[in-house]
Amino acid sequence: MKSLTTFLLLFFLSTVSRAATEPDKDAVWKVGVATTNITPDRPIRMAGYGGRKKPSQGTVEPIYAKAITFEDDKGKRSVMVTLDLIGVVTALREKVAKAVEEKYKIPGHALLLNASHTHCGPAYARDDAKDYFDATAGKIIAAIGESINNLTPAKITYSHARAGFAINRRYPNPAGKFVNSPYPEGPVDHDVPVLRITTTDDKLRAVVFGYACHNTTMGFRQIYGDYAGYAQKYFEQDHPGTTALFMMGCGGDQNPYPRSTLILAQKHGRSLAMAIEAALVTEQTPVLGPLHTSMKMIDLEYTTKNRAPLNYPVQIIQFGNDVSLITLGTEVVIDYSLRIKRELGKRGPAIWVAGYSNLYSGYIPSKRVLREGGYEASRPYKPEVEERIIATTHELFDRFNPK
Ligand SMILES: [Zn+2]
């Protein structure tokens, strides 16, 4: 009898003490999500291909801005915004970052703006699109506010899978020139990283997923989000009530193949949506806090005399010791993604590299691409460009992951 009492007492105590020291170890997060439709309501000049001199002729699919806010158990917040747009021009970044700092007290280094680089979206930085620019910036700021208002307890896991439709587009022709054509021997990164956000009782709320490939299946004068738009649409249709956010990777020299008909964009979108499904059935890594964020602006110099350097953002958003998201500005070629994963991948957290983040200003070649020449090497950067970016990435990563 005595031993049974002791047993029950010990059992009771152990339950209480576990509850007291580990309140809900999995639910350390609050997460909020919001979606806003940014489809132009009038014909508008289109971004991406220089050849299209006339405005859009309608919409195939709406385009969106989506915001997701993460809050760790100390109340630290980070916001990610994904955009069905060509890129994140400085005027947009500055306007949104200023509002987010003033209204929501979130510093710029904790704010990520990432663009899918769809070539069937508006040329929103043109003077004749000022109405659209202002309306869209307002919608993005409002969506961020909505995602903050929606913050509710959540669990996060990380996993990844693969999708194979991105092919290196730097084909070395017999004359020794690198031309824009599929080159299956060239480097690719087929990784599809996925953050899965669920309620505390494991109901799926959102996924953030990445892929490194141009959204250039089509070049017509109709608005839509290309394969990334379809991937988000299909995943959300297959999981009603969830939000899917596409994070563009270092796809500067990657194209979807085959291309040039709408049905191919849909098929690539379906492939990518299926890769998210595949990631979700693999072993999930629990993602814990705290949140670490940092950003550094560096100058990328040109060989051209007196040409002002490109002021370039490198950012880290790290979730505890589990996932480290490195974001790089504008159109980064795939070598950056592969090298950063190779160099940092064994240090602890899973490495996720996003391109097209916080800045849109032409291609960023690697040392190799710069040496080879071709389309992605059109700006005359000094050969140190790659080392500058990689060294800054290490510097930010080392801050939160001491060696
Ligand atoms: Zn591009």
Distance 369 CA to ligand 1 centre (A): 15
Tell me the sheet residues that pair with 78. 70
- Would you say residue 43 lies in a domain? yes
Distance 49 CA to ligand 1 centre (A): 9
Q: Which of 24-33, 212-221, 330-339 has the lowest mean pLDDT?
A: 24-33
pLDDT tops 90 at residue 11? no
- Would you say residue 176 lies in a domain? yes
Distance 293 CA to ligand 1 centre (A): 27
pLDDT band of residue 26 (cuts 50, 70, 90) is: low
- Would you say residue 350 lies in a domain? no
What residues are neighbours of ligand 1 (ion), with CB under 5 Å?
A: 331
pLDDT of residue 15: 42
Distance 141 CA to ligand 1 centre (A): 26
Distance 238 CA to ligand 1 centre (A): 30
Distance 331 CA to ligand 1 centre (A): 6
CA distance 277 to 109: 31
pLDDT band of residue 27 (cuts 50, 70, 90) is: low
Distance 251 CA to ligand 1 centre (A): 8
Mean pLDDT of 233-248: 98
Distance 363 CA to ligand 1 centre (A): 7
pLDDT tops 90 at residue 20? no
Distance 294 CA to ligand 1 centre (A): 26
Beta-strand ranges (E) seen in 228-355 are 243-248, 254-256, 285-286, 291-300, 310-319, 323-328, 331-332, 350-354
For 314-371, what is each residue's pLDDT tens digit?
999 999 999 999 999 999 999 999 999 999 999 999 999 999 999 999 999 999 999 9
Distance 190 CA to ligand 1 centre (A): 18
**Triad 54, 55, 60: Cα angle to 5°:** 125
pLDDT tops 90 at residue 198? yes
- Domain with 78 in it: 29-286
pLDDT of residue 17: 40
- Would you say residue 183 lies in a domain? yes
**Triad 23, 26, 31: Cα angle to 5°:** 105
Distance 379 CA to ligand 1 centre (A): 13
Distance 96 CA to ligand 1 centre (A): 23
Distance 284 CA to ligand 1 centre (A): 33
- How many domains, in total, are found in the chain? 1
CA distance 250 to 341: 12
**CA distances in angstroms from 378 to 110, 181, 182, 364, listed in the order given:** 32, 17, 19, 9
Distance 118 CA to ligand 1 centre (A): 9
190 exposure class (CB count in 10 Å sphere: 0-12, 13-18, 19+): middle
Distance 117 CA to ligand 1 centre (A): 7
Distance 392 CA to ligand 1 centre (A): 23
- Would you say residue 38 lies in a domain? yes
Distance 252 CA to ligand 1 centre (A): 6
pLDDT of residue 255: 98
- Would you say residue 317 lies in a domain? no
Mean pLDDT of 45-49: 96
Mean pLDDT of 249-272: 98
- Would you say residue 35 lies in a domain? yes
- Would you say residue 187 lies in a domain? yes
